[in-house]
């Protein structure tokens, strides 16, 4: 019996081995595990894995490929991982098992392994692992902690940049809406000063498009109404008869 042996089982739908394996092996070796084997990669849909990537992972890390064969996909991968893990638990003297997955489908397996006097280490994401699930393991390693800090910083910077870009776009959109309302109001005032009691939608669009900034704008009737302008119709069945009445706004 090797007290320093650990078996690793990967849920391939949630974790890509090549992204964490070198770092995970290094961490496990520092914890005293000198025999990290067997290494089982559980796969359901081979079509979803890049062929070159899969071959490279299998050879580089000496992974044993375990495929599911059922027609119905739901939970098949989880069941296969359960079977492979319990088979090792009952037929070998391996004292420790490492389950790598970003979901929380292996709580019952963890409990069963403990009843067999096995130590269980979990590997998963900090974002998807609850405290209750983590407490079932003897040790739990967060995927985020395995990744180099430099990559984490770059990821955070990229996320912050995307947020700022989104905020900038929203700010520009609000500014555009404000300027559009100003242009519409000016058109209404000019119409009123010319002693007219209504401004037809088609004429309004023509006036707005004279402004370079809005030359290509799509000022639909719906957008006009969303901006708070009330449209009336000379014929309710014909949208082209739409107009904004000036009587209510200026003749009170």
Question: How far apart, in Å, are the Cα atoms of 52 and each of 56, 57, 59?
Answer: 6, 9, 11
* Higher per-residue pLDDT: 48 or 54: 54
pLDDT of the residue at 117: 96
What residues does each domain of the chain span?
5-147, 162-250
Give the Cβ contact number of residue 186 at 10 Å: 13
Which range, of 147-156, 183-192, 214-223, averages the lowest pLDDT?
Answer: 147-156
d(CA 103, CA 64): 21
d(CA 157, CA 114): 41
Overall CATH class of domain 5-147: alpha beta
Reference 109, options 7, 4, 2; nearest CA is 7
The DSSP output letter for 63 is P
d(CA 113, CA 52): 34
Q: Which H or E run contains 172?
A: helix 149-193
Q: Do 99 and 123 touch, CB atoms closer than 8 A?
A: yes
195: left (phi over 0), alpha (psi -120 to 50) or beta: left
162-250: CATH topology is: Arc Repressor Mutant, subunit A (1.10.10)
What pLDDT digit, counting tens, does each position of 70-119 carry?
766 668 889 999 999 999 999 999 999 999 998 899 999 999 999 999 99
pLDDT of the residue at 41: 93
Q: Which H or E run contains 119?
A: strand 119-124
Asked whether the predicted pLDDT for residue 251 surpasses 50, the reply is no
pLDDT of the residue at 51: 84
Q: Which H or E run contains 41?
A: strand 35-43
What pLDDT digit, counting tens, does each position of 125-154 carry?
998 899 999 999 999 999 988 876 655 555
């Amino acid at each position: 019996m090797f007290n320093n042996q650990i078996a690793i089982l990967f849920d391939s739908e949630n974790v890509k081995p090549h992204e964490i394996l070198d770092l995970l092996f290094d961490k496990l070796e520092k914890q005293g595990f000198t025999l990290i084997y067997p290494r089982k990669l559980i796969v359901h849909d081979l079509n979803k894995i890049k062929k070159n990537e899969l071959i490279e992972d299998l050879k580089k890390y000496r992974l044993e490929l375990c495929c599911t064969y059922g027609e119905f996909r739901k939970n098949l991968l989880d069941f296969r991982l359960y079977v492979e893990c319990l088979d090792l638990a009952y037929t070998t003297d391996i004292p420790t098992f490492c389950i790598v997955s970003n979901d929380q489908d292996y709580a019952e397996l963890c409990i069963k392994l403990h009843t067999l006097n096995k130590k269980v280490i979990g590997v998963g994401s900090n974002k998807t692992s609850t405290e209750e699930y983590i407490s079932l393991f003897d040790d739990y390693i967060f995927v985020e902690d395995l990744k180099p800090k430099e990559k984490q910083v770059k990821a955070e910077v990229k996320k912050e940049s995307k947020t700022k870009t989104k905020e900038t776009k929203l700010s520009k959109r609000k500014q555009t809406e404000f300027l559009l309302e100003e242009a519409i109001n000016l058109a209404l005032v000019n119409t009123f000063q010319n002693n007219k009691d209504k401004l037809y939608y088609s004429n309004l669009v023509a006036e707005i498009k004279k402004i370079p900034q809005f030359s290509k704008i799509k000022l639909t009737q719906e957008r006009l109404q969303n901006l708070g302008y009330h449209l009336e119709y000379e014929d309710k069945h014909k949208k082209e008869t739409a107009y904004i009445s000036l009587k209510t706004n200026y003749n009170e």
